[in-house]
Amino acid sequence: MDTTHERDETASTILAAVAMGDSSAFEQLYHLYEKRLYQYVFSLVHDQTVAEDIVGETMLAIWRGAGTFTGGSRVSTWIFGIARHKSLDAMRRCARRRREVELDGAAEMPTQSDSPLDDMERKQVETLTKRALAALSPEHQEVLRLVFYEELPYDEIAALLAIPANTVKTRVFYAKQHLKKHLERLGQKEPTR
């Protein structure tokens, strides 16, 4: 699997072609980001249909506005910024419904079960991690994803979340502390599961 940094360099080149109206370049860009963008949006809105709508809208916004990308940030930051903005809009619109969603809903999400059956230990760690993540606040979940999965620099996360860089650093520090505590607690509670 390529790294986020390599993917971003590729994305810059592809985005330039998209800005020129190249629909096949857009298709490439789409496949490069669809899954991660969907997972990020889902982690914010906790609704599959809403997440798909937002990803669709985001992708069309990228197609129509690729020329507005100034290169002042990574392509990932720009794309995730659009998706985040749309997610927050959708969350505001669906505030009432969202309140009904349980905080730990993510732990019960159906997962793609394509791992080998003999890899029980990895599966166990994965399950524990997901449950520990689900117990974190949405803000902590979000920064951990942006640092460790999207591999964004702290200044770009600050820009994306519209918070000071120092807040990003401390938020990640405490998110990691909380996740560690939850992992330890879950590990002690269900060591063999």
Site residues, another protein (CB under 8 A): 3, 5, 18-21, 23, 26-27, 30-31, 34-35, 38-39, 42-43, 48, 51-52, 55-56, 59-60, 63-68, 109-112, 114-115, 122, 125-126, 129-130, 133, 137, 139, 144-145, 147-149, 151-154, 166-167, 169-174, 176, 179-180
Q: Is residue 143 exposed (0-12), middle (13-18) or buried (19+ Cβ within 10 Å)?
A: buried
Token pair listed for 140: 């902590």
CB 30 to another protein: min, Å: 7
The pair phi, psi for residue 163, each rounded to 5°, is -135, 160
**For residues 28 and 94, which CB has a smaller minimum distance to another protein in the complex?**
28
**For residues 89 and 149, which CB has a smaller minimum distance to another protein in the complex?**
149
**For residues 31 and 96, which CB has a smaller minimum distance to another protein in the complex?**
31
Token pair listed for 132: 């520990």
Helix runs in 20-145, H state only: 23-45, 48-65, 75-93, 95-99, 120-134, 138-144
